Amino acid sequence: MLLTNGRKVPTTIELLARDTYRAGDLSLDAIPIARDVTEITISIDRVALSRVTLRMAWSIELSLDAGRTWLPWGAAETTGGDIINPRTGLSYLESNFTVTLPEPENPDRQLRGQVSISEDADISVTVTTRP
Amino acid sequence: MAVTFDAVVEIRGEGVTTLTTAAFTVGSGSNRAGAVGLSFSANNPTAITTDIGGVSGILVPGSDSLDRGSNNRTMIFALVAPPSGSQTATASWTTAMDCILGAVTVSGNDQVTPMNGGVAQGVSSNSANPALTVPSVSGDLTLGVLSENATPSAPTQTERWSDAFNIFGRGSTGAGAGSDTHKWTAASSLWAISGANFRAPDSILPGGGPADDRFRFRPSVFWSGTSTLGTKRSPWPDDALDFGMQDTIDDSRSRLL
């Protein structure tokens, strides 16, 4: 985790590089979770999602024992197209979900996930970790 | 028997149509029930479905804060007999928006009418200190769900979840005491708030009446094979009947079956 003037700050890591992906399921490889992380946000970039017929689902699993066992740890779905945030009047630039993580001192925590897209789509997936 | 808090889980999402929580452990206590509280960032979520552990929830009558034009909307869905062990809670709706989902499970609850006393408020212009009084009796457990634009303080009841991004979503529970007030202190802003009451077995709200009766129905009417909600297991036992609502039941049957 990055330190700025001695303070821990959020860190964003790309789980799935921006590219055009075929319809179907995409795996997000397991990555270790740094100590002290207590919250994560999994985001999908919406900038190139112009097709309103597109359906996307993404989910993550958490391991507390270095990948031996996994628990479902959050999931979300959304649609393509230009979606306006009624509070701002602006388009959503990403869709995301945020969950808390247990055992911040556990060095064996890992994260993995899956993305499903109903049509070919140009996307990227990132994880933001927070202390 | 009094209703006892069991477990809670929470998730937030931005620009989504479905949220599923992390795994959480539902206890093995008897007479379990659950509730899903939703805090939306827009006025118009539709076709909302919820579940805990695959058991579908049903909107507690009166708990929908409705469209107040404030881009805050709250509601509470209730269910009985969520499976024990590691489970998740899910909510789905149409039109992508922001949502904070909190799910609570309890034990020692009535298994026919899991929640009653549904109430809700919302404001269409800035107002401070959202508060709501939830009717209850001793042995019940009340639930309050808040969506607000400004940062609320700790609630007057026991806080169960608290999250913030584009909206501030909160959930709290209180031991039944006749009329529990779920209140948050906050700067003047837009907000919506919902409340409902986990019923101890056979408890009746003071005065009975609609708030106590509206949520009783014969489950087979609503969980027939033709129901759009029928893909999941009915949260009500098949023999759950409430003869006080027989007229309504018959009306529903004639329309749905």
- Among the partner-chain residues B10, B23, B95, the one whose CB lies closest to the CB of A73 is B23
**Confidence class of residue A7 from pLDDT cuts 50, 70 and 90?**
low
Cβ neighbours of residue B218 closer than 8 Å, sequence gap 6 or more: B240, B241, B242, B249, B253
- Among the partner-chain residues B12, B23, B95, the one whose CB lies closest to the CB of A97 is B12
Least confident stretch, A60-64, A87-91, B135-139, B243-247: B243-247
Query: Collapsing DSSP states into helix, strand and coil, what is residue A16?
Result: strand
Query: Collapsing DSSP states into helix, strand and coil, what is residue A6?
Result: coil
Q: Flag whether pLDDT at B4 surpasses 50.
A: yes
Q: Flag whether pLDDT at B187 surpasses 60.
A: yes
Do A99 and B42 make contact, defined as CB atoms within 8 angstroms? no
Angle at the Cα of B220 (from B215 to B222), degrees rounded to 5? 55
Query: To the nearest whole percent, how much of chain B has pLDDT over 90?
Result: 64
A-B contacts at Cβ under 8 angstroms: 83
Q: Flag whether pLDDT at A82 surpasses 80.
A: yes
* pTM exceeds cut of 0.95: no
Taking the C-alpha atoms of residue B158 and residue B150, their distance in angstroms, rounded to an integer, is 20
**Confidence class of residue A3 from pLDDT cuts 50, 70 and 90?**
very low
Do A99 and B92 make contact, defined as CB atoms within 8 angstroms? no
What is residue B208's predicted lDDT score, i.e. its pLDDT?
Answer: 63
Q: Which of B192, B22, B185 is nearest to B103 (CA)?
A: B22
A76 contacts in chain B (CB < 8 Å): 13, 16, 18-20
**Confidence class of residue B153 from pLDDT cuts 50, 70 and 90?**
confident
What is residue B119's predicted lDDT score, i.e. its pLDDT?
Answer: 95
Is B219 or B41 the better-scoring residue by pLDDT? B41
CB distance B48 to B75 below 8 Å: yes
- Average pLDDT rounded to a whole number, residues B64-86: 95
Do A75 and B18 make contact, defined as CB atoms within 8 angstroms? yes
What is residue A116's predicted lDDT score, i.e. its pLDDT?
Answer: 98
CB distance A130 to A40 below 8 Å: yes
Q: Indicate the burial class of A22 (C-beta count within 10 angstroms; 0-12, 13-18, 19 or more).
A: exposed
Q: Flag whether pLDDT at A106 surpasses 80.
A: yes
Do B163 and A57 make contact, defined as CB atoms within 8 angstroms? no
What is chain A's length?
Answer: 131
- Average pLDDT rounded to a whole number, residues B53-80: 95
B137 touches A at CB < 8 Å: no
